[in-house]
A = this chain, B = another copy of it.
C-alpha cells in the first residue's frame, strides 16, 4: 500500500486506528481453547469485528514466536486471512528487527515478498545497512524505532550529542538520507506528549506509528495536538484495550464497540 492509498483509507473511514494483534493464549476467551488454532480463531473474529473502524493491523511477532512453530502457523494464517479478505488494511509486522545487510535482506524477502506484509518495524542501532535492504521494495515500508513509549526510552534515545542533538533526532535526520516519506515511517510512543513537536520539525510529512494509548497511558488528544499533519500523518495503535476488552463469547462484539469508540474520537480529531 502506498502513501496516497493509506491517506485515502483514513479519509474514507475517518479513522487512523491500528488494532494491535498482541494475541496471548493466556488472555483469550476460554471457549476458544477448544478450537484447533485458538490464536487464529481469536484473530479472525477480532479482525472481522473491528475492520470497519480501523485502517491497520499490527501483530507483534513476539506473541507468535513465543508459541514456537504453532505460533508461526497462527501468524501466517492471520496474514493470509488479512491479505485475502482485507486488502485495504495496512499490515504492520511488529518485529523490531535489525541485523547486518545480508541478514536484513533475508528478513525483507520473507516479510515483504513471501508474506506480502506492508511494513515492518526495524531497530536503528546497527545503522544504514541494516535498514536499506527493506527500502528496496516498491510500496513497502520500514517503520523505524525513533522515540519509543517505554520507560527505557530515556536510557539512550534522549542522549544529546555535543551539538545538542538527541539520539532519536539523529535517527530521524540521518535516516532521511536512506529513504523518504513514501517508504519510511517512525515509531513514536503516545506517552511522549509534547516531544511530537520536536519530531515534526525534522519529519513534517512522514507518517508516525504511535503505540502507547490505552494500557500504556498515552493521550490521543495530545498526540493529535502535537503530531497530526494535514494528511493526518498518524497511525495510532491500541492493542490490549480493544482485543481484551471482554473475555466472554461476546469478546469480538465488545472489541468492535471499543474500536468504534476510538474511531469516533478520531473522526472528531480529524475535522
Contacts and interface: CB of A to CB of B under 8 A. Distances in A.
Interface in A163-221: 164, 167, 170-171, 174
Interface string A128-168: 11110000000000000100111111111101111010010
Given A68-B76, A73-B69, A159-B167, A128 B152 contact: yes
Contacts of A107: 62, 65-66
A159 B125 CA distance: 11
Q: How many copies does the complex hold?
A: 2
A124 interface: yes
Contacts of A161: 159-162
A126 interface: yes
Given A65-B110, A69-B72, A69-B76, A127 B156 contact: yes
A125 B124 contact: yes
Interface of A: 22, 24, 60, 62-63, 65-69, 72-73, 76, 96-101, 103-104, 106-107, 109-110, 114-115, 123-131, 145, 148-157, 159-162, 164, 167, 170-171, 174
11 contacts: A60-B99, A60-B103, A62-B99, A123-B126, A124-B156, A125-B157, A127-B157, A129-B152, A130-B152, A156-B167, A160-B162
Nearest to A146: B125
Given A126-B152, A153-B127, A66 B159 contact: no
Contacts of A160: 161-162
A100 B149 contact: yes
Nearest to A60: B103
A247 to B, nearest CB: 18
Contacts of A125: 123-125, 145, 148, 156-157
A104 B198 CA distance: 29
B126 A153 contact: yes
A150 B126 CA distance: 7
Nearest to A152: B127
A127 B103 contact: no
Given A65-B107, A100-B149, A156 B171 contact: yes
B127 A154 contact: yes
Contacts of A76: 68-69
A68 B107 CA distance: 10
A150 B124 contact: no
Contacts of A171: 156
Nearest to A177: B155
A162 B166 CA distance: 10
